[in-house]
Amino acid sequence: MPDFTDCRFAVREADTDWHAVIRSGGPARGFSEIMPAFGEALSREQIEQVLGILRGFCRDRAWPRGELNLPRPLVTEKAFPEDEVVLTTKLPAEGEPAVTQEIVYEKRIGPRGQIEAKVPFAFARQPGGSWLGGVGDVALAYKRAILHSLSSGSIVSLTGEVKLPSGDPKRGLGKGLTIWETFATYGQLLPRDAFAQFQGGFEFPTRSQVHKAAFWRAVLGKTLTQDSGFGRAWSPMVELLAKRNLATGARIYWDLLPQMQVTLSRRQHIMFNFGVRLPVTEAGPRRTEVLFYLLWDWFDGGLLEGWK
Ligand code: HEM
């Protein structure tokens, strides 16, 4: 039986998820059949009242509510602290074939904190036709939600990240230097299940010959849910990505990244996102890329749990 006094579990769940389980029973979200369906015994308003009671069991207001956990874009970082594993794959849509992948492991620390490890690996076809691959620059990060409010629908976090020179730049894997990164992220709920997300920050390479850089990213999206708001969720989003070296006269590189995220499992803890990154200005060495990820919210259940 769930323990609704456990803030670590209870506050991250959004009302719609609990509403679905109370209305249609445990299997509605891939939980046990022991949890009965109350949809014929209780009206929508009565279920809302029950939810109000459940919400009273955790009294610690430090935990950001699950409603502020917005769909994860392909590039822009989220403000909500997470327990998840994400495997992102990038393929160039033109030119020499290459595969770049990144696995991200995120773990919550207390109500507002999160640690994160990112391990990139890449495989590229060499002029002779053989494939060469390996691990790139591993990154470690700490994120902290500094503001969150369900009534205004907003969440703001700060992150510090270090990219370590674990790759081999001679083989095109990593940059061969340590880079410190700091950024702010902001998520905002909008009317009609729409949302906006922003990320802005700086890169500080530890070698003076390499320019510092600034980057900013914005996302607009909307979630459409099947079965009157209780079923599979589809979230079309578009990201606008910008980066500029901090040097006089440096250009701004703008990219657009339309994408679609969809929940795969009934519990909605396994998700897929697919998008195409289009250079808008000064394509230069940048190519159009196809990106997709598989996301596993491991706190909500094992990879094979919660499918039926
Ligand atoms: C008004 C009464 C009840 C309410 C409001 C309620 C609410 C919920 C909710 C919201 C969940 C989903 C928790 C999650 O997100 O992990 C859940 C799961 C569950 N409930 Fe209930 N429930 C009620 C009555 C019952 C009863 C009477 C039983 C058993 C006889 C029961 C057994 C369970 C079980 C076994 C689960 C699944 C736990 C799991 O698989 O992790 N519930 N319940």
Nearest CA to ligand 1 atom 2: 22
User: What per-residue confidence (pLDDT) applies to 174?
Assistant: 86
- pLDDT category, 223, cuts 50, 70, 90? very high
Assess whether the C-beta atom of 22 lies below 6 angstroms from ligand 1. yes
Each residue's pLDDT tens digit, 46-59: 999 999 999 999 99
Ligand 1: atom nearest CA of 18 is 10
Assess whether the C-beta atom of 105 lies below 6 angstroms from ligand 1. no
Beta-carbon count within 10 A of 70 CB = 22
User: What per-residue confidence (pLDDT) applies to 132?
Assistant: 82
Name the nearest CA neighbour of 65 among 7, 12, 107.
12
Each residue's pLDDT tens digit, 264-290: 999 999 999 999 999 998 767 788 999
Q: How far apart are CA 257 and CA 41, in angstroms?
A: 46
Average pLDDT over residues 124-131: 79
Assess whether the C-beta atom of 304 lies below 6 angstroms from ligand 1. no
Residue labelled with tokens 């053989």: 130
Nearest CA to ligand 1 atom 28: 35
Ligand 1: atom nearest CA of 31 is 40
Look at residue 181 and tell me whether its pLDDT is greater than 90: yes
237 vs 207, more confident: 237
Q: How far apart are CA 94 and CA 279, in angstroms?
A: 13
Q: Which domains does the chain have, with CATH numbers?
A: 7-55 (no CATH), 66-300 (2.40.160.40)
pTM: 0.93
Ligand 1: atom nearest CA of 53 is 5
Nearest CA to ligand 1 atom 4: 22
Residue labelled with tokens 């709920």: 189
Average pLDDT over residues 217-230: 93
- pLDDT category, 91, cuts 50, 70, 90? very high
User: What per-residue confidence (pLDDT) applies to 293?
Assistant: 98
Average pLDDT over residues 229-251: 93
| C-beta separation of 176 from 203 below 8 A | no
User: What per-residue confidence (pLDDT) applies to 52?
Assistant: 96
